[in-house]
Each structure stands twice: as structure tokens, then as C-alpha cells.
Amino acid sequence: MTKKPTTAQEEKSEGIVAKAKAFRNYLELSKTELRKVTWPTVKETRTTSLVVLAFVVVMAIFLGVVDLGLSKLISFILAA
């Protein structure tokens, strides 16, 4: 038995259906993977956030001091 020739419209609709099925499969796999994730506790999140904030403050102060020092150095060189 031979296959009935398909029209362009049928091929297009099959492509859309295939893409929809692939997207649904992707969503299901994503949901499954998210269940496997070990989410941090509130305490861990708070501690990590404070460490990041402290690091940002320290780096801001450091870069501010370096910037001020280089500005003074350039001013001294150009004034001479």
C-alpha cells in the first residue's frame, strides 16, 4: 500500500503539532528537574546575601580609595 501524498498544509499542521508536543515535553522535563533541586533555607539565603553585601561594600571602599589615590597622583603629575 502506498502512502497518500501529503499537501503543504498537512505538512505544516504536522510541524506545528510536533513543535507543540516537543514544547510540552520540555515543560514536563523542566518541572521534573525543578523537583530535584535542593532549595536553600531562609537562614542560608540570608547569610549568603549578607556575605555578598559585605563584599560589595568592601570592594566599593577599596575602589573608591584607589580612584582617589590615582586622581591625586594624576593631579600632582599634571600640576608639576
Rg (CA), the chain: 30
pLDDT tens, residue by residue, 25-67: 999 999 999 999 999 999 999 999 999 999 999 999 999 999 9
Q: Classify residue 32 as exposed, middle or buried by CB count within 10 Å of its CB (0-12, 13-18, 19+).
A: exposed
pTM metric for this prediction: 0.57
> Given CA atoms 66, 70, 73, 79 in this order, what sign does their dihedral have?
negative
